[in-house]
A and B are shown apart, each in its own frame.
Chain A
Amino acid sequence: MHIVDRRLNPGSKSLENRQRFLRRAKALVQGAVKKSSQERDIKDVLEGGEVSVPIDGMDEPRFRREGGTRDMVLPGNKKFVEGDVLPRPSGGSGKGGRQAGEGDSEDSFRFVLSREEFVDLFLDDLELPDLAKRKLAEVESEGIRRAGYSTSGSPANISVSRTVSRALARRVALRRPRPEALEALEAELENCSEARRIEILAEIEALKAKIKRIPFIDPIDIRYRRFETVPKPVAQAVMFCLMDVSGSMTEHMKDLAKRFYMLLYVFLKRRYRHVEIVFIRHTDRAEEVDEQTFFYGPASGGTLVSSALQAMHDIVRTRFRPADWNIYAAQASDGDNSYADGEVTGRLLTDMILPVSQFFAYLEVGQEHGLSYEMPNSALWTLYEGLRANGAPLSMRKVNERSEIFPVFHDLFQRRGPQERTA
């Protein structure tokens, strides 16, 4: 009898099969992902989770028979006698009634997707627009960096200081006899009693042996400097989140904006190893803030959109050289802007911001339960519309409901043919 503990064996042997199934069912699962992501919070979306996959597209055909006369032997007769005729169960009209019932239970099943799988499928047919503008390498070059010490390596990499300090530590730990102790004993040897002499001689002998036994540098002391290769991001991206936080922006509007930013962030994260986010909020003056303040910090005041654009421009100039960085910006606003600011805003956008940006999206957020096509064109919308008509590469959408965020996002980033670049 042979007993084996297999529990430590790697589980999920069916991972490979599962991935094959996912590939095969991709269209089905993707549909399910889209559907379910509309109903959920972004946080949950990023967590992955269950989707309902219809199974009928995935069944495997076999020669199966149905219908015909059937004979069956059943248990549990209580009252029937031979020759009784039982009415057919209502619903199933005889032929194939049972088969239909069995089929129903397999109409669809809940399929648990990991976070990676979910986001992958969700973003699968999306792509950053206008990638041709700059050579964007998604490839990465290898860099080398120090990664501590190791016990093996090439002699050229021996770290002398580390090795010696370990050797010393070891000798101290092993109570290395100090030369002074030996000298003291030898001095005592000069004038002492005969009995003590033998003792001292033995002690000296032992100390000398010990000194020999503890080598100054033992192979176990040697340390080598270790290097490891790291992928060095060639393509890096920065995302500017610009939000109007003046009093007219409700929590609902901020929530809509936040969802859009989060999606954009996840999406950029997929494409680039290295993504920076800059949060800029503005009223009549703009400031760079952290995420918490951005979404939850209270603020009030007038509205000057140009202040945010100016802030973005300043940050780009000082921190993100357009030659090295892919710059994205998403602006969320309820569309109110002071009338006098329009011209400045337009100039900043067309002269400073758009030339260095890969993509600039303007998201106009509306009241809850409003209808996006019923929203009157706001000051900002009208301004941007005008810029767009003059050929500025702006993407603009209006959003009222949470459920619209995904479709809008999807729409903005839909993979397009080379000829139809985003407007």
Chain B
Amino acid sequence: MSATDQLLFQGADWDFRTLQRICDACEQVAKDELKLDVYPNQIEVITAEQMLDAYSSVGMPLFYKHWSFGKHFAFQEASYRKGLMGLAYEIVINSSPCISYLMEENTATMQTLVIAHAAFGHNHFFKNNYLFKQWTDADGILDYLEFAKRYVAHCEERHGRLAVEHTLDAAHALMSHGIDRYPGKKSLDLRAEEKRAGRRRAHEEAAFNDLWRTVPTGPAKTSAILDVERRRQMLGLPQENLLYFLEKTAPRLRPWQREILRIVRHIAQYFYPQSQTKVMNEGTATYVHYRIMNHLHQQGRLTDGNFLEFLQSHTNVVFQPEFDDPRYSGFNPYALGFAMMQDIERIVTNPEAEDHDWFPDIAGKGDAMGVLRDVWANYRDESFISQFLSPRLMRHFRMFHLHDDPEDRTGILVDAIHNERGYRRLRRELARQYDVGYIDANIEVVDVDLAGDRRLMLRHTVVKGAQLSEADTKRVMQHLADLWSYDVSLVESDTSGTVLKEYVAHPRSLAAVA
């Protein structure tokens, strides 16, 4: 076999036969060398316009219609046209088969990079990470989205576009508080979910009898005041999943509105693992593409020129600007994740004395891929950083910790730097930045005044003095009150229980919701 036969391609052009060769070559490395375990792959070549389309519906191939996606599209298109934003090289969807979108403009080298990155790196992570296993149903998601799209369209037909839009607006406002943070009894099965929704609708239609509407309801029962504890227990309080609570208990929602809340909730839940694993997910994909590309080059299947082109893209992707650089906008998940995974490889194969102290379990163990596969499967960003960020990397990034207390007039305190005294504190603080428990406001439904005016009571536990932004909160509360149909109050209190602020919202119109 001559050298040119071995090459996957030459130059920058590609056709579909080249793509197939690239895929096969990447797959070989991924399976034989890295021993990755992936969902079946589906590669789709799309245009820039289609890429923008995909952006605006949160990267999903099909989605229900809503104006806010149009807004995002317009916004992204505008910044793309102005040249403020480049398009991503790829979008990859956590589904089975795992769908990767490739842009037609990419060069052959870029396509190789993207296939290695998305179709093997991300894909492996989706399939094996415990959070994704727990919370997402890769087999069912595409069907479920199809169902959601049809269902929302159906509701618009039956109940009017405006009513559906109101419900969706409200649901979207609460989306980040529509997530179960702890695994429940069973994992999600979206296919069953879709069937169940269909059956319930069929049953409602079959069992519908207009006569029931005419049965006189007697005077309201003068119920004895329920024991507070018992009531809270029956309502499952306190409840931090606001969408779930509303879906199950909001007194005047119509069945289709509950189903829409459920759809938004399921989709929020589907994306929940992604938000917790940005560093790991991108790190994994970057590490995998780096290994595969190097391997292909060593095998002589990439020319030196193509390999240099790859290295340039790779370097751009993992570039970490420093804090005083105008380009700085926080840690680059690609850079941090990739650096940490390379560092783990180094610790496992070629540890220094320091590493033995810090990582006694893995230092010098010898099987880098084994350790990494285990890490990829069992950690999320917060636990990953808090366990695997090494002093060497902290020195490499020259990390330091700032503590900014607005009460302190003198300025911002440098609390720790990358030295012996600071390593553990730096690591703890950085891990905390990725802890969803700290990132999202802690808002719970605490009680419902069932005997009185049915006011729904929420509480925001203020951490480190960060209160809710007032304008936004008022508008979200309005949505909440519209869904609940009675007054809603939100109390902000610090950890000691001192009330800092209270919001009350009244439903706009009972008729509109009920």
Contacts and interface: CB of A to CB of B under 8 A. Distances in A.
A148 interface: no
A352 B118 CA distance: 77
A418 B462 CA distance: 58
Nearest to B458: A63
Contacts of A3: 16, 19-20, 23, 42-45
B180 interface: no
A111 B56 CA distance: 15
B424 interface: no
B172 A60 contact: yes
In this complex, which of B65, B165, B479 has the most chain A Cβ atoms within 10 angstroms of its Cβ?
B65
A154 interface: no
B89 interface: no
Given A13-B53, A82-B415, A71 B404 contact: yes
Contacts of A75: 320, 322-323, 331, 397-399
Contacts of A20: 65-67, 70, 165
Contacts of B377: none
A112 B78 contact: yes
Contact of A73 (B52, B74, B430): B430
B32 to A, nearest CB: 15
A66 B462 CA distance: 11
A4 interface: yes
B47 interface: yes
A269 interface: no
B50 A18 contact: no
Nearest to B82: A110
Contacts of B430: 73
In this complex, which of B44, B82, B325, B479 has the most chain A Cβ atoms within 10 angstroms of its Cβ?
B44
A109 B72 CA distance: 11
A180 interface: no
A19 interface: yes
B433 A72 contact: yes
B176 A77 contact: no
Interface in A161-179: none
A80 B414 contact: yes
A12 B472 CA distance: 31
B416 A82 contact: yes
Contacts of A58: 71
Contacts of B16: 3, 5
Contacts of A106: 75
Given A1-B43, A61-B476, A109-B79, A7 B104 contact: yes
B56 A68 contact: no
Interface stretch (A86-94, A226-234, A258-266, A379-387): A86-94
Contacts of A11: 47, 49-50, 53
A76 B324 contact: yes
Q: How large is the interface on A (under 10, 10 to 19, 20 to 34, 35 or more residues)?
A: 35 or more
A115 interface: no
A139 B74 CA distance: 34
A67 to B, nearest CB: 6
A64 B406 CA distance: 18
Contact of B40 (A2, A18, A23, A61): A2
B66 A5 contact: no
Interface in A38-80: 53, 55, 58, 60-78, 80
Contact of A64 (B66, B413, B465, B472): B472
A18 to B, nearest CB: 4
B467 interface: yes
B57 A14 contact: yes
Nearest to A22: B70
B468 interface: yes
A262 B407 CA distance: 63
Contacts of A12: 49, 53
Given A9-B50, A73-B433, A80 B400 contact: yes
A112 B81 contact: yes
Contact of A112 (B77, B104, B412, B443): B77
Interface residues of B, number: 99
Nearest to B480: A63
A342 B450 CA distance: 83
A127 B46 CA distance: 44
A21 interface: yes
Nearest to A87: B411
A83 B413 CA distance: 6
A374 interface: no
B31 to A, nearest CB: 12
B417 A82 contact: yes
Contacts of A78: 398
Interface in B66-103: 66-71, 73-75, 77-79, 81-82, 97, 101
A87 B413 CA distance: 9
B139 interface: no
Interface in B410-455: 410-419, 421-422, 426, 429-430, 432-433, 441, 443
B13 interface: no
Contacts of B464: 68-71
B475 interface: yes
Given A22-B70, A68-B464, A76 B42 contact: no
A17 B65 contact: yes
B508 to A, nearest CB: 15
B412 to A, nearest CB: 5
Contacts of A82: 414-417, 419, 421-422
B43 A7 contact: no
A106 B76 CA distance: 11
A104 to B, nearest CB: 14
B185 interface: no
A146 interface: no
In this complex, which of A66, A69, A106 has the most chain B Cβ atoms within 10 angstroms of its Cβ?
A69
B323 A74 contact: yes
Contact of A65 (B82, B400, B402, B468): B468
Interface string A212-246: 00000000000000000000000000000000000
Contacts of B432: 71
B44 to A, nearest CB: 5
Contact of A17 (B40, B69, B460): B69
A389 interface: no
A71 B429 contact: yes
B70 A74 contact: no
B403 interface: yes
10 contacts: A3-B45, A7-B46, A17-B66, A20-B66, A21-B73, A68-B465, A73-B400, A74-B400, A80-B414, A106-B75
Interface of A: 1-7, 9, 11-14, 16-25, 53, 55, 58, 60-78, 80-88, 94-95, 99, 106, 109-112
Interface of B: 16, 19-20, 23-24, 27, 40-47, 49-50, 52-53, 56-57, 65-71, 73-75, 77-79, 81-82, 97, 101, 104, 119, 165, 169, 172-173, 175-177, 320-325, 328, 331, 397-407, 410-419, 421-422, 426, 429-430, 432-433, 441, 443, 460, 462-469, 471-473, 475-476, 479
Closest 6 CB pairs of A and B: A76-B322, A68-B466, A21-B70, A68-B465, A17-B70, A61-B475
